[in-house]
Structure 1
Amino acid sequence: MSSSRVRENRREVRIHDSSYELSTDLADYIAELYESSIKERGTFAIAISGGSLISLMRELLRPAYTTTIDWSKWCIFWTDERVVPKNHVDSNYKLANDLLLSMLPIIPSHVHTVKGTLSAQEAASKYGYVIRQLVRTRVIKASRSNDCPKFDLILLDMGVDGHVASLFPNHPVLEVKSEWVTFIVDSPEHPPERITFTLSVINSAANVVVVATGEEKAQAVRMAIDDVGPEHPLLPARMVQPSKGKLVWFLDNEAASMLKRNS
């Protein structure tokens, strides 16, 4: 395997020659975090997004992982979800279930889905309540520095515009700090109604991974990682800065092509 890694304090950038190398490295990294979480407290609380991330996670279906991981210890959440029924083509849950979750022996009650038959506001409120209950029962660790949950791992897929979860550039939702889960009804991407983790929750995680692949994301990757100056807009992906945890970027060569270290 050929790849490059750059570490800066609690941030690391991993650049891979192919999607296969990226997915293999990503699976290894997830498995490592799972092992450390299980040793520490017996549970692995992981939040995922949709998009191409799910396809890259399919490496976890290899026997090297399916036979060595205790999937009953996994508790799965969504960083964001479209407010649609679970069987809808736009559902992040449907995508993850069809391509990954249904093929793993994960306990169904450990997959915490969003109620997409409610209004966006109601769905966000109920999902936030579920997470609060699981923090109280220590399924999800609590952050010592603030009131937020401390997920063992949050996995984010960055969009072409630099959005992560359903946190879009210049959107008022970026300023929401008092809630763990909030909602939007005017997403610039279809469908318009979504629920999303706030930056407060994302930045309280023990580990955050941001994945970006493809040349069309190279400009956003540069603006999110490199020092680009005050004249450029602050992308949501750049605002992902875990206060106590670790941030790792998983990129392919195309997405990393405009970074200063590659120019």
Structure 2
Amino acid sequence: MIIDISNRKALVTGATSGIGFASAKGLLEAGADVYINGRNQDKLMVALKRLGITDLSKGILADVGTAEGCRTLIEKLPQVDILINNAGIFSPMPILEIDDDEWLKFININFMSGVRLTRHYIAQMQQTGWGRVIFVSSESAIQVPPEMVHYAVTKTAQLTLARGFAEAVKNSNVTVNSILPGPTMSEGVQKFVREMVPDQSVPLEEAGRIFIRNERSTSLLGRMASAEEVANLIVYLSSDRASATTGTAVRVDGGVLRGVI
């Protein structure tokens, strides 16, 4: 299958590393005109260089976890054809220790960023008659991890949000979907794995397998996915090839979720 996304403008939030970076790379390789977003100027410049993007205006510095940051991003890039709502944070913390500020931080970054950006971009997608919106959720939206319930809550909320936006733009050739990645060996997850498997003598890849065996034992893959494997699904859903897929959550979880649908 050849995926050609030429002549489409794409925005990936939280794109300086991990699934976001891999998605930006995959979209570029498929021909899209890609803009990336991040909160750190230095990391943003490094990501542009790694992607081979010489136009520095295609790296937009903005904290999409705030209303002001979303406004800044929209002002600099008022129209896109493809929106990848990838920006997000996670960290293990017992639920009884999560205070109000921590809850609000997770909600603002993981959930409200997608609300604000999608609300703007989807309106002009309707006007142009084509668009793709993808929320990078998680298998944690379905199978709540006891070590980070606040993260799971925001990921479950994304599924409802994506479905609501999809229904709002029916019959428009604009699709809205979520994806459900399982444990993925991104840069952030590497640190998380080291916290869960602290023995530094264990190679990272093996530590990932130990984490899967101990904490995600239902996995059929038996290992962590790569960011590129998850990005492959995002690129497909961003294309014309996925024109009949909308309003749904698509799994790329390595079989962690035991449900058949």
- Shorter-chain TM band: 0.3 to 0.5
TM-score w.r.t. length of structure 1: 0.40
Q: Which has the higher strand share?
A: 1
Q: Which has the higher helix share?
A: 2
